[in-house]
Amino acid sequence: MGKDKTTILVTGASGQLGQELVRLNDDLIHVIGCGREQLDVTNLVQCREVVSEIQPSAIIHAGAYTAVDKAETDVDEAYRVNAIGTRNLALASREQGLKLCYISTDYVFDGTSVLPYNEYDNTNPKSVYGKSKRAGEMMVQSLSSHYFIVRTSWVYGQYGNNFVKTMLKLAAERDSVSVVQDQKGSPTYTLDLARFLIDLIKTEAYGIYHATNAGACTWYEFAQAIFEEIGSPIRVEPCSTSQFPRPAPRPVYSVMDHSAIRQNGLQDLRHWREALTDFLKDRAI
């Protein structure tokens, strides 16, 4: 007897992660992607209508206000999308009895730790973006009964703009590049993250998860690895965060411990360097 297809509604379908998720359609999973044009998450009536019409078994809420620096002055809009929009989906999913997976961020932490952040460590966001994403987490926790909150960081992939693509462009244009060496985190390949999310929502192991590629590095070390992989002679000069002041504070240390993945017996994401190698190989094909 054939298995029924699981239908998953993905918000933010035109973003880096959203596009990756939509590509994972197979015999068992039917992914329906909604960009802002198809679903304005800030509109509660529309959220209810679309969810009711599609009748998914789960929603992966990857849509977000992600302009980290702009959010410092565009405060209301950041909260409208990241908090109110998430509330709307939490309500719509609860009313239909659906699973809701909310994609969150390392920015919910203040970055002052010297040890990887556990899922249950206190959050203390310093930027408007981080605060608005934490508000979204709170909406999910208080309004949804079947939820996954997945915090990730330093995301890159085939779609949209990201650090890896920027470095590849600079390698073709310059002899040297300055990269911040006093921020440490974990790069995350969207394909690995998307596969993990699909596996996660098939379970009922609800709660908060930290999901990044394994291992950690500084942005400077990440840039060095990219250039090594492509055999570029470009020089990488280390610099400090203070040399590149930006409106929104970045977490200095945002490495996250994957204790929930281990405790729930799930498959962890591979090492970031291995993921980077594959990403660059796929791009070259």
Q: Which residues are annotated as catalytic?
A: 129
What CA–CA distance (Å, rounded) separates 181 from 20? 29
* Alpha-helical regions (H) of 154-271: 163-173, 190-201, 219-230, 259-263
Three-class SS state of 250: coil
What crossing angle do the helices spanning 163-173 and 272-284 adopt, rounded to 10°?
Answer: 60
268's CB contacts (< 8 A; 6+ apart) are 214, 258, 261, 262
- Enumerate long-range contacts of 240-248, CB under 8 Å, 24 or more apart: 240/180, 240/181, 240/182, 241/180, 241/182, 241/183, 243/178, 244/180, 246/69, 247/69, 247/70, 247/72, 247/73, 248/68, 248/69, 248/71, 248/72, 248/127, 248/128, 248/129
CA 266 to chain centroid, in Å, comes to 18
Residue 105: Cβ within 10 Å count: 26
